Structure 1
């Protein structure tokens, strides 16, 4: 003997499960699309402590005539400090749109948004030739991939300062300092760097 009320109940339950399964599929597809469209970050965001920022800018002797490029600029604190304390202009480059939005808000709050800008982009595809100072807090591997680009694009005398990571044996730092347990490395671009870039044929990391 059939039980119509049980058949209807089971049919309704099956329909509900089907709708839930469809909803889960749609949510999963949306999350997958968002994941595929999000930038692949070479370096996780870890902010540079302010005492380290201050010493990096002091080592580079930043002044009002300087244009700083901060590669992997995060929340923007390096170029914001340079603009607010020294009157320099600054450009921050970062792959993460969230960090760019945060940095722009921080610049407005600091009152220096007219002196700095933040660009959502790939530092390996950025023209750095106008910089007089370049600051970095990346990784050893990224620094070394970036080194040929710095040699090729930067003018002789441009100052380069890195928090925590060096440039490899091919480019030893001119100065190394410790601040609150953190290491800072300092270089300037020389004629020898430019000649090395010419011999190597120039460009940065292949495939970018």
Structure 2
């Protein structure tokens, strides 16, 4: 069977060397974010710790953990994006858009949290969870962007926990609910 698209217009996947060059950027960006954050905190009264659920009776998590958490998330995001880009030339742009969108959500949530607008923070977080029903927010690019956007306010660990909850909701929606509904619709039509 011949292709309807002439060979000259077929999209070619990225070469292996391009993918290999993309991999280090996620962890490098993450280390830069963490270094700036920890450097600023160190020179302004010391590196902070954050209590779980903002309750003093619960354990606290130091922002030093960002040196491990954020580079790992950056590496996972780079690796995931590079794998998809090897198969689809437009995947790299979609991964960057996913990172940027999640970064903006994280920054907006952080800004509303800092300024004391609890209702706005709740709305943004709930909207991000709802977006996971439609968008694949379980992907590493979304998680890395969200955590990067929130790391200056809450460190890396607590936003990673929040992003994991959102990712779990997105996984259930994309891999259980959607296929189940599709199967149900197919059987109803038959």
TM-score bracket, normalised by the shorter chain, equals under 0.3
Structure having the higher Rg: 1
Q: Compare relative contact order (CA 8 Å, sep 6+) and give the higher one, 1 or 2.
A: 2
Q: Under a length normalisation based on structure 2, what TM-score does the superposition of the two structures give?
A: 0.28
Question: Which is richer in strand?
Answer: 1
Question: Which is richer in helix?
Answer: 2
